[in-house]
Structure 1
Amino acid sequence: MRYGPAVRRRKLGAELRALRALAGLTSGEAARLVGWHQSKVSRIETGRSGVKPADVRLLLDAYDVRDPELHELLVVLAGSDDDGRQHWWRAYRGLLPSSYSDFISLESQAGAMRTLENSVVPGLLQTPEYAREVTRTVVGGALDGEVDALVEVRLARQDVLRSNRPLRLSAVLDEAVLRRTVGGPEVMARQLDRLREAAHLPHVRIQVLPFGGGAQIGVTGPFVIFSFPNKSDLDVVVLDHLTSSLYLERKEDLQAYSEAFNSLQDQALSPEDTMDFIAGVADGG
């Protein structure tokens, strides 16, 4: 049985394999310590099968891992909250594509998220009206009830910005995001206000790439970089396509996209100038 999206299984397996090696154990020795067959340890470490949170705890105890934050992170990566509750989005599993569920899962567990958007406002910053218009357009032919449910999901995702340990969000938006009228002038006016409100949160950083800045690497398309607390080896890049999502996990890819995002931030307006720019767009400038 598999417990969680493939990207998490691979990340978790690689981390457990590294911790076992650090403890000086072979996979067979680790299996004997926890009362398993060696093949189960191998399947977990290669990401071919998932692992329950309780089993992660067994392995971490066997490897004498005492860092409480690392414990918590790896247990959550196994696909369940630390108290065993099912994640909230599973209530929508009949509606959400697996790639979207995977994305939400990573978003809920990450410590930081860096995102480039060149078409629409990031989902974590959308108003309900804006989210509805975007959803209705993307999911063509969806019934009103389905649209309502998908909007509920998008709004529920925004809780990561209001939790006790909120997600640190850095967003670089192409000017086209602000200029594209979604849902009409009133919807856009409220959406621009929402961006300015969000920018005042200490863990949210918003910057705009103005048209006047010329060509930049962001023209290749939007992307998201998820970073996890204290473990850069768990970071992942997500590229969204019309019918699927691509997850990039190689260090070379992570480095390339991180450098690209840093470059985009350097080219973009400062957060302070961005607020003035958004206000100007809202005033019709």
Structure 2
Amino acid sequence: MSTLDAVPTGIIRFGKEARLTPNPLARTRRLGAELLRLRTERGYSHAELSRKSGVSASVISRTENPLGDPGRKPGLLSIRRLLDTLDVPRGSREWTVIESYAEDAATSQWWDAATYTRMGDGQRTYALVEAGASTIREYSGLLLPGLVQTDAYARHRVLALTGDAPVSDPDPIVRGRLERQRQTIGNGLAQYHLVLEEQAIRRRPVPGDVMLEQLRHLLDLMSGDGVSVRIVPVDAQPGDGYAPRAPYAHVTYPDTDDPPIVVVDNVTKALLVTKPAEVTGYAQLHKRLREAALSDADSAAYIRQAADELAATTRKG
């Protein structure tokens, strides 16, 4: 069934402007679904459509299944050739909507700039998923996630995670994390609901002064609109199945026809979860975690107390 009857309606308010900011990965997925539908309805195999359109079978396959290479941008000329071959009338609503998906997916993004080319493939995947988000529901167990890290905290974590192959220049990775923050919660463009285990606040994976700055930065973020941070105490009793195996982010978009997606951090790379039942499962998990956690106000008080205790220790040192 085509989704072309659904007109994009997602609006994000920024200052006095209202604007639609399509997520490029969501549009790539919708583009692939429409091309697959059309090819199936017309009865073409990949090879037959390739022969008739002049577009390689591998390009057709990758366009229909974009998650194998989520950062890949579609070629607009190839998409138009495919639409012509699939007998979609130029200027029709069907042509216009599918072409708009391709254009949105092909638009250059901030992470395409030379400044960010070395920020890392995993982080680029996170940036791709977060772009244009309306809500980001994130969980982390032992560390503060990239969207709330300070420059110093991020720099220490980059150096600590490189093991025997140290990064000669951590700046590109750190810049990427700070820009991700600015592009989402930093500008109030997304509602951000973070759940942290108590250990993420109490444990010190960075020097004391850096951790103190980080905790104060977290409190500053919490004082702004659209940012919720809740702490799960170690003695919380939320019921079965509440403990995630890895950090994750569940992301939704203002256009409700752009399917939500989950990014799971498994250290070596970011994994994308897209099956609707699994994505819904993460949303339900996050709801249970928030219910098990301290309230926003109590979480802020907890973080403030941890910062005060750390400040006292740092002064003594």
TM-score by length of 2: 0.69
Q: Find out whether 1:123 has 2:142 as its counterpart.
A: no
Following the alignment from structure 1 to structure 2, what is the Cα–Cα distance between the partners of residues 144 and 226? 30
Match for 2:234: what amino acid?
Answer: F
List alignment gaps of at least 5 residues for structure 1. 1-5
Query: Which residue among 198, 206, 215 is the counterpart of 1:175?
Result: 198
Match for 1:13: what amino acid?
Answer: L
Structure number with the bigger relative contact order (C-alpha 8 A, sep ≥ 6) is 2
Q: Find out whether 1:161 has 2:184 as its counterpart.
A: yes
Could you tell me how far 1:65 is from its partner in structure 2? Answer: 6.3
Following the alignment from structure 2 to structure 1, what is the Cα–Cα distance between the partners of residues 132 and 164? 32
Could you tell me how far 1:188 is from its partner in structure 2? Answer: 1.3
Q: Which residue in the other structure is 1:208 paired with?
A: 231
Could you tell me how far 1:180 is from its partner in structure 2? Answer: 1.0
Could you tell me how far 1:26 is from its partner in structure 2? Answer: 4.8
Which structure's CA Rg is the greater one?
A: 2
Following the alignment from structure 1 to structure 2, what is the Cα–Cα distance between the partners of residues 10 and 67? 15
Query: Which residue among 115, 121, 125 is the counterpart of 1:98?
Result: 121
Matched residue SS, 2:228: strand
Following the alignment from structure 1 to structure 2, what is the Cα–Cα distance between the partners of residues 11 and 242? 25
Q: Does the CA contact (< 8 Å) of 2:137 and 2:192 recur in 1?
A: yes
Could you tell me how far 1:240 is from its partner in structure 2? Answer: 1.3
- Of residues 223-232 and 140-149 in structure 1, the stretch that sits farther from structure 2 once superposed is 140-149
Following the alignment from structure 1 to structure 2, what is the Cα–Cα distance between the partners of residues 51 and 16? 14
Call closer, same or farther: CA 1:99–1:183 in 2, change over 3 Å: closer
Count of residue pairs the alignment pairs up: 267
Could you tell me how far 1:167 is from its partner in structure 2? Answer: 2.4
Call closer, same or farther: CA 1:228–1:162 in 2, change over 3 Å: closer
List alignment gaps of at least 5 residues for structure 2. 1-23, 311-317
Question: 1:102-113 to 2 correspondence within 5 Å?
Answer: 102-113=125-136
Query: Which residue among 51, 61, 64 is the counterpart of 1:45?
Result: 64
Q: Does the CA contact (< 8 Å) of 1:12 and 1:74 recur in 2?
A: no
TM-score by length of 1: 0.75
Q: Which residue in the other structure is 1:133 paired with?
A: 156
- Of residues 223-232 and 173-182 in structure 1, the stretch that sits farther from structure 2 once superposed is 223-232
Match for 1:111: what amino acid?
Answer: S
Structure ranking higher in helix proportion: 1
Following the alignment from structure 1 to structure 2, what is the Cα–Cα distance between the partners of residues 7 and 100? 15
Following the alignment from structure 2 to structure 1, what is the Cα–Cα distance between the partners of residues 43 and 295? 50
Matched residue SS, 2:230: strand
Matched residue SS, 1:269: coil
Following the alignment from structure 1 to structure 2, what is the Cα–Cα distance between the partners of residues 89 and 100? 14
Could you tell me how far 1:55 is from its partner in structure 2? Answer: 7.0
Match for 1:266: what amino acid?
Answer: E
Following the alignment from structure 2 to structure 1, what is the Cα–Cα distance between the partners of residues 127 and 266? 16
Call closer, same or farther: CA 1:38–1:63 in 2, change over 3 Å: farther
Identical-pair percentage: 21
Superposed CA RMSD: 3.9
CA offsets per residue over residues 102-152 of structure 1, 9 Å max, x none? 222222233321110001111111111111111111122455642222212
Following the alignment from structure 2 to structure 1, what is the Cα–Cα distance between the partners of residues 269 and 167? 23
